Amino acid sequence: MRRPRVLSGIRPTGQGFQLGNYLGAVQHWAAMQDDNECFFFLADLHAMTANPQPEQLRARTRESVAELLAMGVDPSRSTVFVQSHLPQHAELGWILSCLTGFGEASRMTQFKESQHKDKGEGSVGLFTYPVLQAADILMYQADAVPIGEDQRQHLELTRDLAQRFNHRYGDTFVLPAPYAARAGARIKDLQDPARKMSKSIGGSGTVWVLDEPAVVSKKIRSAVTDTGREVRAAEDKPGIANLLTILSVVTGADVPELEARYNGRGYGDFKADVAAAVVELFTPVRERYAALMADPGHLDAVLAQGAAAAREVADRTMNEVRDRVGLLPPARPAN
């Protein structure tokens, strides 16, 4: 019996990975490698919906691979690859789009939000984004997918499309479930704790994994708080609650324990300790990243190895899919 198969992807956008990505997702990716067969990929096709400059997309994809490895993703225990290196993703995306109703695609919250933001000028790529995401998942017969609450609707669409395909053409796809693990920490923007820390928004409210220690310290010391001096998690103290969450996840101490520790000490000592803990967390990551980026040949070898392993699974899936939907197999040249 094979180990449970888990798949997750992340877009190579922005300035890299930020503190929320690491604490909410990537550190769990590293941990899940022990008990699962993991497929991790850089979703560069999805990144194209943001219309990045070509050189920027190429550079960010390579840098993102180095960051993932530096943060603990191990290519000897996981399959690490780039989405566009396997054209099967786009092929399965098209086949699934032919099974997707216009109405159900229109109801995807992410697309509706982008339409509102872009005043109805969103691309077809954004519209079909969840269908390609379904193809990413179903291609590898993933048992589970680590998702945030904002992606739950997309996973439900993936399950619907898998069931629809299986009903019409015969059992082909595994129905993926959310990955059962401790919920990742929801890290908020340091300057606006009403919203989550974001790769796309950035600014002084976002701590990047590769920020220099002095920059990390400045951002955390400048985080918005509120009037008063009490270090406690409360609805009327969203900034302090966010910093308590960060320190709790980084150090492993419970929030009530931290509240007791900083009772009567004020914000200055507290923020200094949060900054020191985050700097300590990311110092070895930055060092490993620098070493990896200095050896591009090694990164290329990791991606080639990952693409080869992923291709074996993708080919098995697509051979079955093509046969079931009635696509004519390519003729073999005569000897």
Return d(Cα 160, Cα 154) in angstroms, integer. Answer: 10
**How confident is the model over 53-81, as pLDDT tens digits?**
999 999 999 999 999 999 999 999 999 99
**Fold adopted by 203-291:** Tyrosyl-Transfer RNA Synthetase (1.10.240)
**Residue 116 — very low, low, confident or very high, per pLDDT cuts 50/70/90?**
low
Burial category of 221 from C-beta neighbours within 10 Å (exposed 0-12, middle 13-18, buried 19 and up): middle
> What pLDDT is recorded for position 189?
92
Burial category of 255 from C-beta neighbours within 10 Å (exposed 0-12, middle 13-18, buried 19 and up): middle
Residue whose structure tokens are 């270090």: 231
> What pLDDT is recorded for position 333?
81
Residue 223 pLDDT > 80: yes
- The stretches of 26-145 forming alpha helices (DSSP H) are 27-32, 44-47, 54-70, 88-97, 102-106, 109-117, 124-139
> What pLDDT is recorded for position 118?
61
> What pLDDT is recorded for position 211?
94
Residue 86 pLDDT > 70: yes
How does DSSP classify residue 36?
S
Mean pLDDT of 129-139: 96
Closest CA relative to residue 163, chosen from 181, 151, 182, 176: 176
Question: Which are the contacts of 111, defined by CB distance < 8 A and separation ≥ 6?
Answer: 105, 122, 126, 127, 129, 130
Q: Angle at Cα 130 formed by Cα 126 and Cα 132, nearest 5°?
A: 95
Return d(Cα 98, Cα 91) in angstroms, integer. Answer: 11
> What pLDDT is recorded for position 107?
87
Residue 32: helix, strand or coil by DSSP?
A: helix
**Cβ 323 vs Cβ 329: under 8 Å:** yes
Boundaries of every domain in the chain: 5-179+296-325, 203-291
Residue 151 pLDDT > 80: no
Least reliable range by pLDDT among 10-19, 122-131, 138-147, 181-190 = 181-190
**How confident is the model over 284-299, as pLDDT tens digits?**
999 999 999 999 999 9
- The stretches of 179-295 forming alpha helices (DSSP H) are 213-221, 238-251, 255-261, 266-293
> What pLDDT is recorded for position 149?
66
Mean pLDDT of 159-174: 97
**Residue 130 — very low, low, confident or very high, per pLDDT cuts 50/70/90?**
very high
Residue 2 pLDDT > 90: no
**How confident is the model over 176-192, as pLDDT tens digits?**
998 865 555 689 999 99
CA distances to 117, 122, 193, 260, 321 from 230, in Å: 38, 45, 17, 10, 60
Residue 100 pLDDT > 70: yes
Return d(Cα 155, Cα 131) in angstroms, integer. Answer: 10
Closest CA relative to residue 306, chosen from 70, 34, 65: 65
**In terms of CATH architecture, what is 5-179+296-325?**
3-Layer(aba) Sandwich (3.40)
> What pLDDT is recorded for position 109?
78
